[in-house]
Structure 1
């Protein structure tokens, strides 16, 4: 993994089977802060513990490899008032998502960004979820197609995460049109929008979003990370 350049938006993936080796798990645990290690034990299911460990350790490793500024264990994080994680004293933006056995991360020096992933599946309570998060014109587009709904869902969540509101901003007030998410109400003093890129990779719906500025980012989707290339 190389350094990140100013106008890139890099997307990385990792899977839980990376933790099958005990030595790998011990190494990843050594990278986390005391607060992160305590959070792991708040999860009752071992799979949830593993997912949190992998996501936050891989985040630290990627930050170090992309910037060259700090060792993985030295990164310090904070949160905005709306709960979006940020890095103390460093300009790089990041976001992460997880679903099933997969985690996804995105990084940018130039753009606020967000990412969401969902495995392809039949969606429980599809009709209810459509009513919660869709505008009338989006309902017509989706119909009863579960795949179309998951594409729209990841688009909305990625855009909301890029903006920094998450679902504190109602998803049915965010219109997805083309490759833009248009916020129908003002956020603070201005009406904002996000741009996004959708892909369907290995059975995973993946959307990465960013808040536009003077130049659009170059999106680079990386091969699946393994324990070996994380250490390289």
Structure 2
């Protein structure tokens, strides 16, 4: 598990190894800050994957599933051991999860004020999850709301489903989606952020690093 400080990343000549698809996705973002953060997150993803695989970052070939989940395909990387990974970023932080135990998903959320917190809780949390706070409109409930939200997105990303499933169907208390169980771990990347990682199998240990 890697915590990535996007503000500390230095592009240098690294932008040149981003794919045309990655550059096009960055260009579609509305702000210069958003475009820079996206590029830095993808540069970090390629550098870290390249280090694990022993390949130049620019040679990695990434394809995307129906709901946008990236995976490695083709080239020299296809002859190596299976590597499962996922990336999420919010604000100036990103989380990169990588392993060999099966599909993996990670999510990070900046804890922030919500316009309609009560409505969001009613619409997207299960009945059991709603009982975890007496008042979802209170500022004190925000960390718990975003903790649950990060767990939901981590499971959906591990399953390769994005936000294609109603969020209230994702059971973050037991880690279950559509009858399938997922191993779940809450992450605290920094004050003011919530995060979670989900995996098809429970790892014997979770090792954590920071980058750069």
- Normalising by the residue count of structure 1, what TM-score does the alignment of the two structures yield? 0.80
What is the aligned counterpart of 1:220 among 204, 207, 210? Answer: 207
**Which whole-Å CA distance do the structure 2 matches of 1:142 and 1:165 have between them?**
27
> Does structure 2 conserve the Cα–Cα contact (< 8 Å) formed by 1:64 and 1:71?
yes
**Which whole-Å CA distance do the structure 2 matches of 1:201 and 1:80 have between them?**
27
5 Å-filtered alignment, 1:30-49, equals 30-49=16-35
More divergent stretch after superposition (46-55 vs 82-91): 82-91
**Which whole-Å CA distance do the structure 2 matches of 1:71 and 1:220 have between them?**
24
**Which whole-Å CA distance do the structure 1 matches of 2:204 and 2:166 have between them?**
27
Give CA-to-partner distance per residue, 1:162-219, whole Å, 9 cap, x none: 1111211111111122xx4112x3xxxxx3121110022321211111112xx63421
RMSD: 1.7
1:206 aligned residue: 195
**Which whole-Å CA distance do the structure 2 matches of 1:118 and 1:38 have between them?**
24
> Does structure 2 conserve the Cα–Cα contact (< 8 Å) formed by 1:104 and 1:115?
yes
> Does structure 2 conserve the Cα–Cα contact (< 8 Å) formed by 1:95 and 1:105?
yes
Structure 1 residues not aligned, in runs of 5+:
1-10, 186-190, 227-232
What is the aligned counterpart of 2:115 among 109, 124, 132? Answer: 124
2:48 aligned residue: 62
> Does structure 2 conserve the Cα–Cα contact (< 8 Å) formed by 1:96 and 1:116?
yes
Cα offset for 1:35? 2.4
> Does structure 2 conserve the Cα–Cα contact (< 8 Å) formed by 1:114 and 1:158?
yes
**Which whole-Å CA distance do the structure 2 matches of 1:84 and 1:152 have between them?**
21
1:6 aligned residue: none
1:157 aligned residue: 153
1:181 aligns with 2:175: yes
2:100 aligned residue: 109
- Normalising by the residue count of structure 2, what TM-score does the alignment of the two structures yield? 0.87
Structure 2 residues not aligned, in runs of 5+:
none
Give CA-to-partner distance per residue, 1:24-53, whole Å, 9 cap, x none: 324220221222223222222011111110
Give CA-to-partner distance per residue, 1:60-92, whole Å, 9 cap, x none: 100111121x21000011112232211104421
What is the aligned counterpart of 2:130 among 124, 139, 142? Answer: 139
**Which whole-Å CA distance do the structure 2 matches of 1:81 and 1:201 have between them?**
29
State the aligned residue count: 200
